[in-house]
Amino acid sequence: MGLDIGVIGIGMIGQEHVRRLDGGPGGSRVVAVADADAERAAGVAAQLPAAKALPSGEELVASDAVDAVVVTSWGPTHEPYVLASIAAGKPVFCEKPLATTQEACRRIVAAEVAAGRRLVQVGFNRRYDPAHRALKRAVDGGAIGAPLLVHCAHRNASVPPHYTRDMSIADTAVHEIDELRWLLDQEIAAVQVFTPRKSSRGGELQDPLLLLLEMADGVLADVEVSVNVHYGYEIRCEVSGETGTVELADPAPVRIRREGAVAGLVPADWRERFALSYDVELREWVDTVVGGRPFQGPSAWDGLAAQVVSDAALRSLHAGGRVAVELPERPGLYR
Ligand code: NAP
């Protein structure tokens, strides 16, 4: 048995996911696409053996041909498509962020709780990256004793002109926010954002930013967000524990020694660095849906929790100071 999927929003990552899902794992096919740009949707559908371009995301969710929905449109548009999928009883994979306000995330959580079963998975792909999984195994296995400090960096070569100061947190650091909750198996209790000397490459952007996150058990995590580093895309994470440290290794496949220097390639962007994570993420999602198994991936609750922390960080960025994170009670569906 295969899985017939509809994809809403076929821009950069939407087209990446379509490529992975059509004729992909578990007999998945893309049978419908929809995009704000109807021509783009028609162009993508024309290249797929079984897909139709539908006039809207709402029609795609309602279509009898679609068993499961993938939402890869722009963040502020996620909520109505995710809510419609829950109402239709269809599994929905939604790219991060789940929604761009915590109120919208709460509405999604409430709808899923009312439905009484998990249908939503959020695209926090770090959890599927083999290097991040090895990092978590080392921490969970006690290889470095109790974790005390975490140092993360999220560096982009550049960002598009529409990228705003708030997106450094809501769109970029949100990956580390989820990663830290997952890696350390606990919630974030407070956050403070620091604004160091500005890079001359960032124009009006406040770039870089430094986030200091306090975990519930007192572990402190610092996150550098730099979005104009020019040299490539780099993700770092080092956990410092009572008896040792563990860090993500350099992802370069080869190291070149010549003319008195050592060099390794730096990935150009997230597509290159995290290609394998998207493969694993979508394969596991399809297998879970096809097998009728309970969802283990990042949930609507994880989407809400990340959004609450992101909002607290934005308050700190705008007004300064340490901001406590106040999460609602976690519903039983997500325990
Ligand atoms: P993008 O290239 O701008 O693609 C978004 C697409 O959605 C565009 O084709 C856009 O059309 C379309 N769209 C906008 N509003 C729509 C609506 N109401 N209904 C249907 N389609 C709509 O953006 P992207 O970089 O692919 O990002 C999409 C999402 O994926 C974002 O939430 C982003 O944060 C997330 N993302 C996640 C990762 C990851 O590593 N997990 C990486 C990249 C992106 P127009 O261009 O005509 O507006």
Please tell me the pTM assigned to this model.
Answer: 0.96
Please give the Cα distance from 100 to 238 (Å, whole number).
29
Find the 15 Cα to ligand 1 centroid distance in Å: 10
Two structure tokens written together for 237: 């994470």
- Please write the tens of the pLDDT for every residue from 125-184: 999 999 999 999 999 999 999 999 999 999 999 999 999 999 999 999 999 999 999 999
Q: Does 6 sit in the ligand 1 pocket, CB within 6 Å?
A: no
Please give the Cα distance from 282 to 263 (Å, whole number).
33
Q: Does 269 sit in the ligand 1 pocket, CB within 6 Å?
A: no
Chain position carrying tokens 């017939």 = 4
Q: Residue 139 in contact with residue 246, Cβ under 8 Å?
A: yes
- Please write the tens of the pLDDT for every residue from 184-205: 999 999 999 999 999 998 888 9
Two structure tokens written together for 2: 């295969």
Question: Per-residue DSSP letters for 7-32?
Answer: EE--SHHHHHHHHHHTT-GGGEEEEE
Q: Does 170 sit in the ligand 1 pocket, CB within 6 Å?
A: no
Q: Strand (E) positions, 219-320?
A: 220-226, 234-241, 245-247, 255-258, 261-264
